[in-house]
Chains A and B, each alone.
Chain A
């Protein structure tokens, strides 16, 4: 009986994460990991790097042929940076995918609700104040750049949220997006004003705005990790709900869901994750748009595959972009935001053309 039905629908399987894609994502992460560790100012043999990675697993003791100094470069300098790239890239791509689903807008990105502008203002304020206080940009202030970025980002999202209630308590997606635009412009104006008043800090502020994966060892990784876990668990748990939401709030309600509750939960989780990512990496653009759309085009429109694949391929993409950022420019590092935008902008145009073609 079942086989005849299966034949009738031509062996079509329900949407979901395919094993092949999952394996591909894991492979991409492993390739980015080994490449990110092997290449740099000192090149290490990829085989030895892979063996040293295995040695990190408790109970494994293999001979890699690397010197003690090379092992130190690997585990103390490169590994934290590559892991940070994987985490930040995965978070930004996941948050972008979640926003695109929640707002049913293919162009939604993680910075949509004012996260970028809020973090930008926070960071500019702290750097300017620091310079103003002592004339020395490296002087210690109780608030560091990551904390300022995190606080600014969350404050901006809260503002957007409050303003979004102006269009009715149920906060339609369109109202929230407009509120995000208003809040972003307002905060960006504040930031521009501060930058004009403290021209001497422009260089430092710009270096943050363009995004970079800080090389502060494992410290930054430990800052982001708890947020990454919370965000990933909440967003991935809502993957089927996001698929149902594509038919609209009213029909989702008719199917027994609570669309408003799912939406709030997803917005909070994605914003928290984005704020954590921004606080350690600055404003890295386009990852949140490029990666989910690539997954959508390649593996189908179901969020059950887009979300997990965005985490894996987003992480791999950013780790590889970072590798390019620190090796392609010779001595001076290219800001990673420049790399992602350089590849992101043309891709963005392709997505625009495609979405116009299908609608």
Chain B
């Protein structure tokens, strides 16, 4: 067994004939939190979906040392869980039933949820403080509550690796912080590996162990927040004028008018 939870080499993804991801290499150690940043269209979401096995791609993706194409779909779903940028909210579905969908890779064909599945989901709902919404319809929850239910569905999969595509983009700064703190706590409690994308650079830098900067489908910088979030890097790849100031938990990125 390798100590790497995710190993990606020479990942390439084509969408409608356009090369969106062009040879990405990326390693994430067990229990590590890596955040992918980059301007719009850099290929962040596409790369994340390919790593999660949701898009056809070329190159190598290994999860816990096993090539992802050698895993059965259900096995893969028990190893890696993805929360997309804006998950579909099925009309009328209740929170409990939505979270139970996360148990799909454990339920045999033609079978139904076992008591163990229900207990697992209850535990996750408790831990995310959404158990009191169990009977509510998902569409009646606020953005922050909904994001926690999406996370609950992913955690119910029992996967050790969590892929999160901009989990905070729909939230105000208070709820952003709340969700990120929650992810950090869950990572510690459940020994999870987290790979996520994010737009807010300062916040991303404060929480991630390491950062990867993508531009035009390739990795242009990788390392700690201090190494990646430099005025020069951001000026070149985001075409933005920023001041980077040293903060309490890492660099603070402040945009400055040209």
Interface of A toward B, CB cutoff 8 Å = 2, 5-6, 8-10, 12, 14-16, 237, 240, 243-244, 246-248, 250-251, 253-258, 296, 300-302, 358-359
Q: Is B247 an interface position by the 8 A CB rule?
A: no
Closest to A11 in B: B135
Closest to B55 in A: A250
User: In the assembled complex, which residues on chain A have CB atoms less than 8 Å from the CB atom of B52?
Assistant: 254
Beyond A10-B135, A254-B52, 9 additional pairs, beta carbon < 8 A: A14-B113, A15-B100, A246-B90, A254-B53, A254-B77, A255-B105, A256-B75, A256-B77, A258-B73
Residue in A246, A250, A256 with the greatest tally of chain B CB atoms within 10 Å: A256
Q: Is B42 an interface position by the 8 A CB rule?
A: no
Are the CB atoms of A256 and B112 closer together than 8 Å? no
| Known contacts A5-B122, A9-B122; A256/B97 CB under 8 A | no
| Known contacts A16-B112, A253-B73; A5/B126 CB under 8 A | yes
| A247, B98: Cα distance in complex, Å | 9
Q: Is B96 an interface position by the 8 A CB rule?
A: yes
Q: Is B157 an interface position by the 8 A CB rule?
A: yes
Q: List 24 A-B contacts (CB under 8 A).
A: A5-B126, A9-B96, A9-B122, A9-B134, A10-B135, A12-B94, A12-B135, A14-B97, A14-B113, A14-B118, A15-B100, A243-B101, A246-B90, A251-B88, A253-B54, A254-B81, A254-B82, A255-B77, A256-B73, A258-B73, A301-B91, A358-B91, A358-B139, A359-B91
Q: Is B119 an interface position by the 8 A CB rule?
A: yes
Give 10 nearest A-B pairs by CB, closest first. Answer: A256-B77, A9-B134, A301-B92, A246-B90, A256-B105, A12-B135, A256-B74, A255-B104, A248-B88, A15-B97
Are the CB atoms of B73 and A240 closer together than 8 Å? no
Q: Is B132 an interface position by the 8 A CB rule?
A: yes
Q: Is B160 an interface position by the 8 A CB rule?
A: no
Which of A14, A243, A247 lies in contact with B96, CB distance below 8 A? Answer: A14
Are the CB atoms of A237 and B110 closer together than 8 Å? yes
Are the CB atoms of A12 and B88 closer together than 8 Å? no
Closest to A297 in B: B92
Are the CB atoms of A254 and B96 closer together than 8 Å? no
Which of A257, A301, A359 lies in contact with B90, CB distance below 8 A? Answer: A301
Are the CB atoms of A8 and B126 closer together than 8 Å? yes
| Known contacts A14-B113, A16-B112, A253-B54; A247/B105 CB under 8 A | no
Are the CB atoms of B49 and A301 closer together than 8 Å? no
| A256, B54: Cα distance in complex, Å | 10
User: In the assembled complex, which residues on chain B have CB atoms less than 8 Å from the CB atom of A5?
Assistant: 119, 122-123, 126, 131
Are the CB atoms of A255 and B90 closer together than 8 Å? no
Closest to B102 in A: A255
Minimum Cβ distance to chain B for residue A265 (Å)? 12
Minimum Cβ distance to chain B for residue A237 (Å)? 6
Closest to A1 in B: B119
Are the CB atoms of A300 and B92 closer together than 8 Å? yes
Residue in B96, B104, B125, B132 with the greatest tally of chain A CB atoms within 10 Å: B104
Closest to B99 in A: A14
Are the CB atoms of B101 and A255 closer together than 8 Å? yes
| A253, B80: Cα distance in complex, Å | 12
User: In the assembled complex, which residues on chain B have CB atoms less than 8 Å from the CB atom of A2?
Assistant: 119, 122
B7-58, CB < 8 A from A: 49, 52-54
| Known contacts A247-B87, A254-B81; A8/B54 CB under 8 A | no
Minimum Cβ distance to chain A for residue B239 (Å)? 31
Which of A14, A246, A251, A253 lies in contact with B53, CB distance below 8 A? Answer: A253
| A5, B135: Cα distance in complex, Å | 13
